[in-house]
Amino acid sequence: MVLFGKPEEPEFSKVMDQGLRRPSNVEAMQHQHRKSVSNKGLTGASALTVRQSIFPITLVTILFFLWGFAYGLLDVLNAKFQNSLGITAAKAGGLQGAYFGAYLIGPPTYSGWIVRKFGYRWTFIAGLSIYGVGALMFWPSAVYRSFGGFCGSLFIVGSGLSTLETSANPFIATCGPPRLSEFRLELSQSFQAIGSVVAPLLASRVFFKETDDTDLSNVQWTYLGIAAFVFLLAVVFYFAPIPEVTDADMALQAEQSSGLTGYVDKPLKKQYKLFFGVIAQFCYVGAQVGVAAQFIKYSVESAKISDAAASDRYAIGQGLFAIGRFAAAGLMMVVKPRWVLLVFMTGVMIFIAAAMGVKGEGGVAMLSLVLFFESCVFPTIFTLSIRGLGRHTKRGSSWIVAAVSGGALFPALTGLAADHMDYHKAMCVPLVGFFVAFAFPIYLNTVCAKELDGFRESKIGYKDEDGLAMGDIQHEERRASIMHEEKGVLPTEKEVAY
């Protein structure tokens, strides 16, 4: 499917033909200020070491915090709008619909095209700029108390953040040794979870502490500050040293790992694991957002507490979410990520069912534990879905990000169910989404185990006894030279290249 110009994915044979001409990982770090990069050319970034990837990953992790802050603030604003504008739970779900609906449009079209055409740097800058414009639009929306204006502003914010995610998620997953892909994204997204904790705390303790239910003035100042910070961050990314990892680099990396993974280059239409991952991500994110959107109202109904107290309970739940991500990241250093995903999804299923039947503070505790076990699901589905995509990595990543649009559907359905029943019974809607997503780790652990474990065993990006990164052209040249010195003949170009 081509929506903008010609396909930007490289042909596998042409990637392999570049052979000896491919740059080293040192050159990838030295050519970080190029205006754009061809997605069909090798940059040497397929064999970046842990040390080389630390700074760019740290910088991009800031974006995850920013996304988490916006997401956490959205859930509190949902309850605020319900009170101040006197709207139903189903209509308040329109906020999620506007925010997450942008994910359905951006990643498969302009966001995905930008990251394939111009590379990660310019996609970061574009996403931050769009986000900043959306944040500025909250000012007139708050002045005129326009629910439609807020929805429009959130759609623009969602467009910016979906563009950032289209680049940030695959960048973190591919920037560094492939065996640490799941760990890197899990750890970076842990800071997204911290943002989700900070946002509702600031909302209840600072932004809306001394305002009544009808006062939305602090909303405009909050987003004005966010806009200023975002535009400043866009300038930082223009000058920041960011290596470009192309689809050609990922094709080479996948081929170099084929002995362990059984990788064979396939057309996009035959990437069945990716398609299953998209469906699972759509249902999971929808269910997650459905739970988060109704958490405060659920707590009020279940424990008979005020909205402020319920916001505190939600902050505790988000704290458990953040702890769960750090815990999952640590587990992935010693336990296979596909096992971690299966265990955490099992926990989600158990406690969402319990939350439907338990009342009082116990029900709030059950729903909080759902947030804990949700923690690792999104990033792990993402990384495991793009494993082995090779030259299709960027397009496949954009489809996984587009699946976040499930958050536009499930909250409205959950709110509609709550309007006609109660918030406990309404949790049956997220339960259905979680059930569909639960099938994905079962599939991974039964059908895709060999492939996924092969990437985990890969040594690409790790240094050998000579201090050269395995998988890098310098390592390949050294290995070929030693081998042919023993034979007393010179290596061929093909043997050096591979």
- Structural tokens at position 34: 């190029």
β-pair partners for 463: 469
Which has the minimum average pLDDT: 46-50, 80-84, 305-309?
Answer: 80-84
| Residue 424 pLDDT greater than 70, yes or no | yes
In tens, the pLDDT along 59-93 reads 889 878 877 787 667 666 656 666 666 666 666 66
Query: Which tens digit of pLDDT belongs to each residue from 207-252?
Result: 666 666 566 666 677 778 888 888 988 898 888 888 888 998 898 8
- Between the alpha carbon of residue 239 and those of residues 31, 33, 124, 234, 242, the distances in Å are 12, 7, 12, 9, 9
Q: Which of 343, 339, 328, 344 is nearest to 449 (CA)?
A: 339
* Nearest residue to 219 via CA among 406, 68, 85: 85
- Tokens for 154, please give them: 């959130």
Highest mean pLDDT among 60-64, 253-257, 333-337: 333-337
Rg (CA), the chain: 23
Report phi then psi at 469, rounded to 5: -75, 125
The number of beta carbons lying within 10 Å of the beta carbon of residue 16 is 17
* Residues facing 469 on adjacent strands: 463
Q: 129 is written with which tokens?
A: 């700029």
**371 is written with which tokens?**
């947030």
pLDDT of residue 497: 47
Say if CB 97 and CB 152 are below 8 A apart. no
pLDDT recorded at residue 494: 47
> What is the Cβ-side half-sphere exposure of residue 210, based on CA atoms within 13 angstroms?
1
Please enumerate in sequence order all residues whose Cβ is within 8 A of that of 429, keeping only pairs 6 or more positions apart, or say none.
287, 290, 410, 413, 414, 417
